[in-house]
Amino acid sequence: MKSTLIGCPQCSGFQFIEFDYFNDGIANIECDNKHKFTCFVQGTNVEKLLESGVHALANKNTLEACASIYAAYERSIEFAIDVFSHHDGIDLEALEATKKSMSNQSERQLGAFLMLYFRKIGSPYKLSRKVTEERNKFIHKGFIPGIERAHQFCKKVYELIAELIVLLKSRFPNSVDVVRNQLLQDFAKGLPGNHRVVNMSTQFFHIPASNIETNFERAFKLHMDATRSFHETALKIRSGTL
């Protein structure tokens, strides 16, 4: 997955540095002046998969967009299980052994989530049959959706994710922070010890944000406008007009 910096921690002035990062969010970078450093994109897989999905959607890679955003939904369910469990005083490391038995069987994970959700929230979680049907068609049957159909699927799934995260933050804010920080600490174990580290956050969806946008159309437009503005600035840097 691609992201961009506009500077090196050892250089003065602007540089446009495009880099790739993957599951752990860690990228080893060399700037134009041969300075080496590491960028750590701090985000859970919920955040990173959503970022991947909206980039794919913007580039009209519809199947990839649907797959990434639905994977983010599955990770948000897993995140919720951790939050509910932490709030109940369950040790997260001890919980991992139980979660491993569910990790390759999404039905088991979903069943655990539904029961925990009902117990902690006090009302049943409403699953979307339409989302499940579309997911099965796209992911399992290899159907490549058109742009509008993919956009509508991503919109629905994103809004399920955003509503769940907003609910968790409102009801269990400390547990959300603890669980997210633990996930970032696990990723950070892969950081090299001999490089300067630059930390950055995901741009489209950021769990600690004070005001998470739950409307996909607005969130997508804001992100695309910000991305366009950023790249216009980068072009000015490259051409020396800034």
* Cross-strand bridge partners of residue 39: 27, 198
Closest residue by Cα to residue 114 from 127, 102, 105, 104: 127
pLDDT of residue 9: 87
| pLDDT score of 5 | 80
Tens-digit pLDDT string for the chain (242 aa): 888 887 888 887 777 888 999 999 999 999 888 999 999 999 999 999 999 999 999 999 999 999 999 999 999 999 999 999 999 999 888 888 777 777 667 788 899 999 999 999 999 999 999 999 999 999 999 999 999 999 999 999 999 999 999 999 999 999 999 999 999 999 999 998 887 999 999 999 999 999 999 999 999 999 999 888 887 877 776 677 76
In the chain, the number of structural domains is 1
User: Would you say 5 and 198 are in contact if contact means Cβ atoms under 8 Å apart?
Assistant: yes
The reported pLDDT for the residue numbered 134 is 97
Q: For residue 80, what pLDDT is reported?
A: 97
Q: Who's near 121: CB < 8 A, 6+ residues apart?
A: 167, 171
- Cα–Cα distance between 106 and 83 in angstroms, integer? 18
The answer to whether 16 touches 238, Cβ cutoff 8 Å, is yes
56 near 154, Cβ under 8 Å? Answer: no
Q: What is the pLDDT of residue 233?
A: 77
Tell me which residue range forms the domain holding 27: 2-239
Burial 119-128 (b: 16+ CB within 10 A, else e): ebeeeebeee
Residues 162/214, Cβ–Cβ less than 8 Å: yes
**CB burial class (10 A; 0-12, 13-18, 19+) of residue 137?**
middle
pTM comes to: 0.92
pLDDT at 17: 86
- How far is 113 from 82, CA to CA, in rounded Å? 10
